[in-house]
């Protein structure tokens, strides 16, 4: 099923460290190849509403094997995937979700981060991705 | 309830063949006259998030007896059916869902395809429709 | 993600053939290693309420890597898993769902059958399992 | 909101260690004082259906500030809390969920464990509780 628990925990620890460096309060979720939750962590005073968003970002990134923000570019009014967010029990289509690849480039899971601006969410998610090689 | 299993499987096989010709990885769903799932197939490595979308496209096409993309034209901001997507447990209003008619023109079900661009989703759905006559 | 579409379709065809032999009207679902829908077929006049049950049986069998009926033995009043059915958006804990293994014994997916007595559902599911080796 | 991330991660690590000692494959969830997910980990090949159950056990233990198995004694047919499991989006009323207290005895969260027999689930949850003092 792709990503191991050790890899998922490494991604979360890297994302937590990046959050601390940037003084952010984040929710961080990792799903496996089957889009099932593998690991999760919420920092003190992180937004409660971001628990679900972090998990949905991770799922969305694995559901479509792309950064969540890329999906959002296509789901705007008039865009080809308008309102795709109502599928799959709710997708999140703004940045903060990224696929996780192994050293060979194979997608083995995904990470979702929520708790601050979408730019910061993306930056923290990227730190998690880079911890898995 | 309209479409038979043999017809639904013929539609799926035609859609799978078209997908292979175009080198696409697709989810393909067929619903019957009652908008209830009749047959489904997911190709290797097709997007997991497209399982639900393919089924919702098929349902949407039968719910309103029109191509899903036609619904999307009316559901844009300011349009007459704005936000219709939140009804029925979630509709998909971009292309890839088409009603299926029998030789007499009567609608007997619908097909939904998801896994690539909406143009390719539509092309593959059309191949499925044409297999049922 | 385990089971291939060809394997899933072989399981469904074997289950359909067994249903025809026994003159049953069945819904048959196959999920992959990640418990995500891979293939589905509904015979003419099969119970509409069994669409969801067949899918939930397949998911349940993969969720816990055991026949669904085994789960039901433990979920009775006074049993150790009483009311487990309310989890995971609804489990089905009576017979008709079975894990699917490859030739090496590894679980690669599951099949769920619904449409008749639980004994017949189980028999048809077993035919599907045996088609994948 | 009670439990800190450091405490939640300590509980999960203790539960993982106990699971490894007992050669079990577990899903482990920790919620905070507000019954919101704080941390989660799934071991390799742990039951996929136990993701939701572990989270629901943790929530249930904090919702009622008691071991989940205690709730199950009252929810049997004829019991005073019959069918309470359908509330709150689904409760789990068999063992494996325990409140977590701080050194002063105040409940600051809860842990839920799922993946094996309810006795083993409970044993592993207890190991998590004891790691937080």
Please give the ipTM for the structure prediction.
0.95
- Contacts for C115-121 with beta carbons within 8 Å, 24 or more apart? C115/C19, C115/C24, C115/C25, C115/C26, C115/C27, C115/C43, C115/C46, C115/C47, C115/C50, C115/C54, C116/C24, C116/C25, C116/C26, C118/C69, C118/C94, C119/C95, C120/C22, C120/C24, C121/C26, C121/C57, C121/C95, C121/C96
pLDDT of residue C133: 79
Average pLDDT over residues B25-39: 98
Percent of all residues in chain C with a pLDDT value above 90, rounded to a whole number: 98
Interface of D with A (CB under 8 A): 4-5, 8-9, 16, 32, 34, 36-45, 48, 51
Interface of B with A (CB under 8 A): 47-50, 52-53, 56, 72, 75-77, 85-86, 90-95, 117-118
Contact between A60 and B49 using a beta-carbon 8 Å cutoff: yes
pLDDT of residue A44: 96
pLDDT of residue A1: 64
Q: How far is C76 from chain B (nearest CA, A)?
A: 31
pLDDT of residue A60: 98
pLDDT in tens, D84-120: 999 999 999 999 999 999 999 999 999 999 999 999 9
Tell me the chain A residues in contact with residue D59 when contact means C-beta distances shorter than 8 Å: none
CB C35 within 8 Å of CB D48: yes
Contact between C36 and B43 using a beta-carbon 8 Å cutoff: no
> Neighbouring chains of B at 3+ CB pairs within 8 Å?
A, C
Average pLDDT over residues C36-45: 98
C-alpha span between B54 and B121 (Å, rounded): 9
Percent of all residues in chain B with a pLDDT value above 70, rounded to a whole number: 99
| Angstrom distances, CA of residue C32 to CA of A32, A33, B75, C91, D12 | 14, 11, 35, 17, 29
pLDDT in tens, B110-129: 999 999 999 999 999 999 99
Q: Which of D59, D84, D94, D120 to mutate to test the interface with C (most CBs of C within 10 A)?
A: D94
Contact between C32 and A33 using a beta-carbon 8 Å cutoff: no
pLDDT in tens, A22-62: 999 999 999 999 999 999 999 999 999 999 999 999 999 99
Q: How confident is chain D (133 residues) per 10-residue block, as mean pLDDT?
A: 94 98 98 98 97 98 97 96 96 98 96 98 98 90
Round the average pLDDT of chain A to a whole number and report it: 97
Beta strand pairing status for A107-114 and A97-101?
antiparallel
pLDDT of residue A119: 97
| Edge-to-edge strand ranges of the sheet holding B27-32 | B97-101, B107-114, B27-32, B37-42, C37-42, C27-32, C107-114, C97-101
Interface of A with C (CB under 8 A): 1, 32-36
Percent of all residues in chain A with a pLDDT value above 90, rounded to a whole number: 98
Number of H helices and E strands in chain A, helices first, is 4, 4
Residue B1 has pLDDT above 70, yes or no: no
Tell me the chain A residues in contact with residue D39 when contact means C-beta distances shorter than 8 Å: 40-42
Asked if the C5-130 domain carries CATH number 3.40.50.12170, the reply is: no
Contact between D5 and A44 using a beta-carbon 8 Å cutoff: yes
């Amino acid at each position: 099923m792709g990503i191991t628990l050790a890899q998922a925990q490494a991604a979360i620890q890297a994302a937590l460290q990046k959050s601390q460096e940037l003084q952010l309060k984040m929710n961080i979720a990792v799903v496996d190849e089957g889009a099932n939750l593998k690991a999760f962590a919420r920092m003190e005073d992180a937004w409660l509403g971001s628990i679900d968003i972090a998990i949905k970002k991770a799922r969305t990134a694995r559901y479509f094997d792309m950064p969540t923000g890329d999906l959002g570019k296509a789901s705007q009014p008039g865009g080809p995937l308008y309102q795709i967010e109502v599928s799959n029990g709710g997708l999140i289509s703004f940045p903060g979700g990224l696929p996780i690849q192994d050293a060979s480039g194979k997608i083995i899971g995904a990470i979702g981060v929520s708790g601050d601006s979408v730019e910061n969410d993306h930056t923290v998610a990227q730190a998690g991705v880079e911890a898995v090689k």
